[in-house]
Amino acid sequence: MNRLLGLALICFLMLTSDRAAASDLFSVRCEGGAPVRLYFATFDVDAKAVVFETPPINVETNFGINAYSGEINSTKNGKFEFVVRIGPGRLDLIFDRNQKTMTWQGLEDPTFRPTLVHKCTVTPPRSILSFRVRDPILHPISVRCEHTGAVYFTMDAASKTALYERGREGRGFRGEVTDAGQDEVTLSMNFDVPRRVVWSRNRQTITIEGIEGDAARPRTVMQCQEVAPRTMIEFYRDQQR
């Protein structure tokens, strides 16, 4: 009887671990080409969504990186088969979580496009701030505010980077962290004109300072709350709107 209970417990643990793995939101960092060029993919298995960041054309300047959304077709045996649409074409790729490899599927005749297999590393979900940035953003915070629809501010004190996203429009503005304390984080956001922005943890507010003499840009205070850090998967949601 004890042996049967033990087997049942093992089966239960295996099933629950499979479910946990299937609900993962994670990223992979892969290396390919000569010289080696890094590229990335972020997976949301529940949504069957993926965001693929292409390798840079120029490894010195990081020029040429772009983000494209795709769909996961299969997740059998730890293999994530997915397709990414780039312009009129498409990429068919397979990430093997067990082997930590990314396979670029070639043509039947490998003369023109052979199959490529690149080594990868599984990482936490990439921050939306990490796009086109050499060093990954590790500890960002995101804030959601209600102001004629949802808006988001994502900021990271270590890298001094910030991003503003405007709800359904998916419009983004870059900025920088100019000061960070225990209670307040001050940003300089590159809107149509630079604006000073302050996030107050205690008051749970975002304050956008006004521009003196400009009635169209008054001081604005929004009630906000901290949410899960925004990841690269938001590019998928933006492109589906």
Is residue 100 within 8 Å of 122, Cβ to Cβ? yes
Determine the pLDDT at residue 19.
37
Distance CA 130, CA 136 (A): 5
Distance CA 218, CA 226 (A): 24
Sign of the torsion formed by the C-alpha atoms of 96, 139, 205 and 193: negative
Percentage of the chain beyond pLDDT 90 is 65
Of 26-40, 78-92, 110-124, least confident by mean pLDDT is 110-124
Tokens of 143: 């804030």
pLDDT band (50, 70, 90) for residue 171: confident
pTM, 2 dp: 0.82
Distance CA 177, CA 154 (A): 10
Q: What residue type is assigned to position 45 of the chain?
A: V
pLDDT band (50, 70, 90) for residue 108: low
Residue 76 reports pLDDT greater than 80: yes
Residue 148 reports pLDDT greater than 90: no
Residue 6 reports pLDDT greater than 60: no
Distance CA 184, CA 5 (A): 54
Instruction: Output the CA angle 137-227-121, nearest 5 degrees.
Output: 35
Distance CA 165, CA 230 (A): 10
Mean pLDDT of 55-63: 87
